[in-house]
Amino acid sequence: MYTVIDIETTGGQARSHRVVEIAIVTLDEARIIDSWFTLINPGKFISPFITSLTGITNETVADAPTFEEVADVILERTEGKIFVAHNVNFDYGFVKNEFHDLGIKFERKKLCTVRLSRKIFPGFASYNLGALTSNLGIVIDHRHRALGDAMATARVLELLIRNDKKGFISHSLKRNSKEAILPPNLDKRVYEDLPEKPGVYYFHNARGKVVYVGKAKNIKSRIAGHFTGETPKCKRLFHQNIHDISYELTGNELIALLEESREIRRLWPEYNRTQKITTKNHGVYLYRDRNGYDRFAIAKTLQGAKPVASFRTFNECRNYLYDLVKEHHLCAKLSGLQKSPGACFDHKLGLCDGACAGEVPAEAYNERVHQALETLHEEKKTMAIVGHGRNGDERSVVLVEDGAYLGHGFVEADFAPRTVDDIKERIHAYPDNQDIQKIINGYLKQSNGDQIIYF
Residue 291 falls inside a structural domain: yes
Let me know whether 45 and 161 are in one domain: yes
Let me know whether 230 and 371 are in one domain: no
Let me know whether 89 and 36 are in one domain: yes
- Could you tell me the end-to-end alpha-carbon distance of the chain, in angstroms, rounded to an integer? 70
Distance CA 91, CA 111 (A): 11
Let me know whether 353 and 401 are in one domain: no
- C-alpha 211: how far from chain center: 9
User: Of 278, 255, 275, 272, nearest to 213 (Cα)?
Assistant: 272
pLDDT digits (tens, 9 = 90+) for 80-89: 999 999 989 8
Instruction: State the pLDDT at residue 276.
Output: 54
Instruction: State the pLDDT at residue 82.
Output: 95
Say how many C-beta atoms besides its own lie within 10 A of residue 112's C-beta.
Answer: 25
User: Of 380, 427, 387, nearest to 401 (Cα)?
Assistant: 380
Instruction: State the pLDDT at residue 265.
Output: 87
Instruction: State the pLDDT at residue 234.
Output: 44
Among 375, 404, 431, residue at a domain's last position: 375
> For the chain, how many structural domains are there in total?
4
Amino acid (1-letter code) at residue 31: R
Residue 183 falls inside a structural domain: no
Let me know whether 32 and 148 are in one domain: yes
Let me know whether 250 and 293 are in one domain: no
Let me know whether 27 and 139 are in one domain: yes
406 in helix, strand or coil?
strand
Distance CA 184, CA 124 (A): 14
Let me know whether 431 and 308 are in one domain: no
Among 276, 295, 326, residue at a domain's last position: 276
Distance CA 401, CA 382 (A): 4
CATH code of the domain covering residue 40: 3.30.420.10
CATH code of the domain covering residue 216: 3.40.1440.10
Q: What angle do CA 363, 365, 368 make, to 5 degrees?
A: 110
Let me know whether 12 and 120 are in one domain: yes
Instruction: State the pLDDT at residue 233.
Output: 40
Residue 440 falls inside a structural domain: yes
Catalytic residue among 144, 204, 239, 347: 144
Let me know whether 321 and 355 are in one domain: yes
Let me know whether 148 and 72 are in one domain: yes
Low-confidence ranges of the chain (pLDDT < 50): 231-234, 279
Residue 102 falls inside a structural domain: yes
Residue 263 falls inside a structural domain: yes
Among 121, 137, 172, residue at a domain's last position: 172
Contact in structure between 263 and 200 (CB atoms under 8 Å): yes
Residue 249 falls inside a structural domain: yes
Let me know whether 38 and 140 are in one domain: yes
Residue 181 falls inside a structural domain: no
The question of whether 239 is a catalytic residue gets the answer no
Contact in structure between 309 and 324 (CB atoms under 8 Å): no
Residue 59 falls inside a structural domain: yes
pLDDT digits (tens, 9 = 90+) for 350-360: 889 999 999 99
297 in helix, strand or coil?
strand
Domain extent for 439: 383-454
